[in-house]
Structure 1
Amino acid sequence: MNKRVCIIQPVMKQYRIPFFTTLAALLASEGIELQVVYGTPWAQENRRNDHAELPPPLGLRVESRMLGGRLLWIPIARPWMAADLVVVEHANKNLLNFLLTALSLMGLKKVAYWGHGRDRQVDPNSGGERLKRRSLHWTNWWFAYTTDAACYVAEQGFDPARITVVQNAIDTAELRAQLAAVADPARVHWRAELGWPSDSRIAVYCGSLYENKRLDWLMEAAEQVHARYPEFRLLIAGGGPMSQQVESFARGRDWVHYAGPKFGQEKAELLSLAEMCLNPGLVGLGILDAFCARLPLLTTNLLQHGPEIEYLEPGKNGLIVPPCATAFADAIESLLNDPAKLAAMRVEAEASSHRYSIEAMAENFAAGVTQCLDQS
């Protein structure tokens, strides 16, 4: 009889679809059946406009509820009750986690956590983070996003032999193929649509639009750079709670264009116009979008970055500068002034994209699943 694994996600992100389909195929080859249960986006989450449907039977969408704006309830029982292993996001907001981990501690259900181990965006001494440090032990296995996340979990006393480093990624192969398919006529079309001359120096921001991305620094720095480099242009793609502020900033500035959320081939075409990727705030998986497009990523040394910030090698495939708009503007100008350095960093960025892939992530995850299931 096949073993069963149930992965529970708060919502289904568009970028996760290739991972789950690849993982399902790998597990099926080992005689393991996968089902992914996911909830509906709540109001704030829905504004990011980056969700998708994972087709059944692999995917099962349920009507979840966000209670009081802080606690998530996913009303589903049969899939995880029938599963030999349940994988859940390590997050205080997930009410179901407390039931599952209680069953795990009693030896009634094998449960694994998937995540960062900590929330870098909050005070480490807050009540929520103290609970996360305690609860990270309430599981049979850990799927850590990155090596740094795995080290953190191990430092808290969790057995390293029961930690799998996933190397969190997007479908870099698909994005590289989409970028390779962008021909010169498409770039000419976009420049004509934007009204930007062929000698424009274009930088791009591509990602969610919310406060932790420090879009205020992005806009202030862009103003400083354009004042000294009239050929500088800023292209912003994404959606989220700050869409209106970004749209307002772009309005009346012919050197700024807000494209809204973009995916697939259209996103590839926009990325292909740029020379560098800008994100002064929280860096997450979007770093791989930049690398696939041969774009060094420029950011600041905030403490709130996602674990994927460890993919950035300062001076090689990107830059990290002090957290302020002026330093960020200076970093942009340093690359505009040094074409040779920019070209070398673009080569390194592309090389970095090959180190992280959906295929490698799925293989890492599948190996961890089989190890966990084999463990007595």
Structure 2
Amino acid sequence: MVETWRIFVRFLYLGCVSFGGPAAHIGYFRKEFVEQRRWLNSDQFAANLALCQFLPGPASSQLGFAIGCHRGGLWGGLGAFWGFTLPSFLLMWALASSQQHGLGPLLFESGVVEGLKLLAVAVVADAIWTMGQQFCRRWDTAVIAALTALALWWLTTPLTQLAVLAAAAVLGYLRSEKPNRPVPQVTLPASGKGALLIFALVLLASFVAASSVFSQFYQAGALVFGGGHVVVPLLQSFIGDAVPADQFLLGYAAAQAVPGPMFTLASYLGAVLRPESALTFAAVATAGVFLPGFLLVIALRESWQTLSQRPRIAATVTAVNAAAVGMLVAAWFGPITGHAPAGWWAAGVAVLGFVALRSKRVPVGVLIVGFSLLGWWQF
């Protein structure tokens, strides 16, 4: 337990200072745990990173969990997760709770939220640009992204999203090349088989009890490929009108500003959905959205080196990631821009925000303050 506490403390420190999103988090982890503390070597770090990018869910949080498991077993992984997540969890819960005590109306009436909506337009556009360059380099992946966007523009429901993800996976598998040499067999350890069974059983149970808060966030965590921005259309689809668009976009903007994982948007939404027990349901939603990825890390961590040599697995994941880009495009043209301020002035501000994000020279925190002030002044 002493080692678990040490892991928790180191990740708690990183959870307080790690601004900048998943890419920055990975850089922090490498500097801290490979270069400075030498908890694992470069090859081990690279292998864990590749696995976490392959799996659904938040890659940087899963990487932190994997590092914690490498250092201190399962308890070490849990210590790493809660240390890294706790600061942003508390901040997002506090934001949701404050809306029940007078701050919410003040924010909405002041115009601050309108400014943050414009920032959300720029942030999601930047994510589409970045992910499109990464996952849609070939014509077939570009077609998958386009068809996904059209399908979800036509009908945005959880079932549609499940269908397009499944169709992309099947198409990627069918279009993959057959291996020209025998591939090694994958053997899961007993702990891996147990974690995979739990993942499947909980996912099945979540469809049976689909209306529960935990089920909605567990399904989102199990199905989101491509990182934190892609969880936005999934959560909006699952939650529907239970959270007003203004409140949803405020939480999304706040998730950009706080340190640590962006998936703590779930903490905010859980508290908003059940304000009478805000802290409890913030924890329930957080556990639901992170648990699928962690179970898959436990299941595959020891067998990843063998599994990653299978070309059809890689092709399937490539197609699913392309579909994730299409999901983000549909969200951008739907709820993101649909609820943002309209007009040439608003469009110009959003474009400036996009340019600033692409330049990589303006911190997101500065943009949040700037857009908040612009919204307060203009609206």
TM-score (norm 1): 0.24
Bigger share in helix? 2
TM-score (norm 2): 0.23
The structure, 1 or 2, with the larger RCO (C-alpha pairs under 8 Å, 6+ apart) is: 2
Compare CA radii of gyration and give the structure with the larger one.
1
Bigger share in strand? 1
